[in-house]
Amino acid sequence: MSARLRRVDAAAFRAETAGQRRFQEPTLDPETSERLRAVFGRAVGADEAVRIIVADVRERGDDAVRDWTQRLDGVEVASLRAAPESLGAAWEETAPRLRQALAVARDRIADFHRQQVDMAARGGPDLCLRPVAMRRAGCYVPGGRAAYPSTVLMSVVVARVAGVGSVAVATPPGPDGRAHHAVLAAAHIAGADQVFVMGGAQAVAALAYGTQTVGAVDVVVGPGNIFVTLAKRAVVGSVGIDGLAGPSEVLVVASEGADPEHVAADMVSQLEHDPLAWAVCITDSDRVAGAVADAFAAAAEGAARRGVIASAAGRHGMLVVCRDMGEALELVDDFAPEHLELVGAAAEELVDRVRNAGAILVGDDTPVPMGDYVAGPNHTLPTGGAARFSGPLSVHHFIRWSSVTRLRREEMEALGPVAATLAEAEGLQAHVDSIRLRLHEAGSRTR
């Protein structure tokens, strides 16, 4: 199965993507649907399955987490919490080269996110908004057979920089019922307080509501599969969340002079994530479009995950040829990509004209994988068009605001009648009485 990019014009791209840039429950593949049927004894959709799991964990706690892990993943977990000493042990046993890489990445991520910390109250001494770090955060880290220590750093380090009191990691067990060695090592160097060996919807529910072993958190952050995402949607309101993650996506704006092999490599690297991933190159040059198309076909053919790449390219792999860079930027803002690469001669002049993108990577030496691991800004980003209204995971996701109001007696006397009039207009007599009681007392004191 060969992987090729479809070539379309701007109008066709708008028409094809307009209805797909909102979060929606995807259609499950046949294998996953059959697994759910076997587990539940009947046909269920992903959303219904998640709601059943979440409700069960809320009611039964640890037992439900273990039961669903065994039923869905076929793994027995002896202890939901990784032994505290296992984090340090994993770090000591990690190869020096990986330890060095984790340390460099941690420091760059911490340095970048420290620039976001501003705990100054907004307003005056009597009327202000006061920022406060959250007490407890839950960081979901995908896993199972794979390991994502970079996601540990991107969430735990940021929570720590924000001043969160306690940070918990939840990550799925491997076949041996334990957390992945690299995740434990990353949790150690990032400063996590606990690591819980649990994944999927049951992990999100445990973090949101608490169990006998897991303390309830104030916010749940981190990427995951569709079941994790739907679970976050189910518990929002009981806890805060960072957003609803969908398939990964990159949009490359390639002006004249862009290196077609580099563009193709970056598109292939994004499509290897998921058969539903997006990789789109927008250019105003027929020559660049043709060169990228040829380079992509060659790179995809030689890729280790070429089957996944071909499947994804057939759905969401495109070359869009525009009349000029102005039209290209209009498409960018409509699409609101998770990752936006600007390459070629016009890259620098386009940066400040972009309105909607999760991460903007500028120049030939700034591919998405550098942002994923070590550049400094966060790799947990809005997808599915959510970059129209949200941004990367940041310190601000771990800080909440309280308003502080302190009225002087003269302000109460001046503003009380105004507030009473508004309360009367809304038919809230007890509100009126509360205000007038104080006004009456004030009047009595002046006599």
What are 34's two structure tokens?
């059959």
Mean pLDDT along residues 353-382: 97
Give the least confident one: 129-133, 310-314, 360-364, 403-407. 310-314
Q: How far, in Å, CA of 188 to CA of 81, rounded? A: 14
8 vs 14, 286, 318, CA distance in Å? 10, 12, 7
Which regions of 284-347 does DSSP assign to beta strands (E)? 317-321, 339-343
Q: Where in the chain are all domains bearing CATH 3.40.50.1980? A: 6-23+246-375, 84-240
| Catalytic sites, residue numbers | 338-339
Structure tokens belonging to residue 349: 């002049």
- Digit-coded pLDDT (tens) for 167-226: 999 999 999 999 999 999 999 999 999 999 999 999 999 999 999 999 999 999 999 999
Q: CA-to-CA distance for 190 and 182, rounded, in angstroms?
A: 12
pLDDT tens-digit map of 6-30: 999 999 999 999 877 777 776 788 8
Side-by-side strand order, sheet with 127-133: 122-123, 127-133, 399-405
| pLDDT above 60 (res 424) | yes
pLDDT on residue 10: 95
How far is Cα 186 from Cα 160, in angstroms, rounded to an integer? 14
Write down the CATH superfamily of domain 6-23+246-375.
Answer: Nitrogenase molybdenum iron protein domain (3.40.50.1980)
Cβ contacts of 221 within 8 Å, gap of 6 or more: 137, 138, 139, 140, 155, 159, 241, 242, 380, 393, 397
Q: Is 358 left (phi over 0), alpha (psi -120 to 50) or beta?
A: alpha
Spatial neighbors of 394 by CB under 8 A, at least 6 apart, are 113, 116, 158, 378
Helix ranges restricted to H, 210-285: 226-235, 260-271
Residue 447 pLDDT greater than 80, yes or no: no
Question: What contacts 134, CB < 8 A, 6 or more positions away?
Answer: 162, 164, 165, 218, 219, 240, 398, 399, 400
The CATH number that domain 84-240 falls under is 3.40.50.1980
List pLDDT tens digits, range 276-329.
Answer: 899 999 999 999 999 999 999 999 999 998 999 999 999 999 999 999 999 999
3-state secondary structure 184-222: HHHHHHHCCCEEEECCHHHHHHHHHHCCCCCCCCCEEEC
This prediction's pTM: 0.94
Banded pLDDT at 445 (limits 50, 70, 90): low
What's the whole-number average pLDDT of the chain?
A: 95
Tell me what pLDDT residue 443 has: 61
Backbone phi and psi for residue 236, each to the nearest 5 degrees, phi listed first: -60, 135
Task: List, for residues 232-277, the tens digit of each pLDDT value.
Answer: 999 999 999 999 988 999 999 999 999 999 999 999 999 998 888 9
The 10 Å Cβ neighbour count of residue 216 is: 15
pLDDT at 28: 82
Could you give the angle at the alpha carbon of 395 between the alpha carbons of 108 and 160, nearest 5°?
Answer: 70
Collapsing DSSP states into helix, strand and coil, what is residue 180? Answer: coil
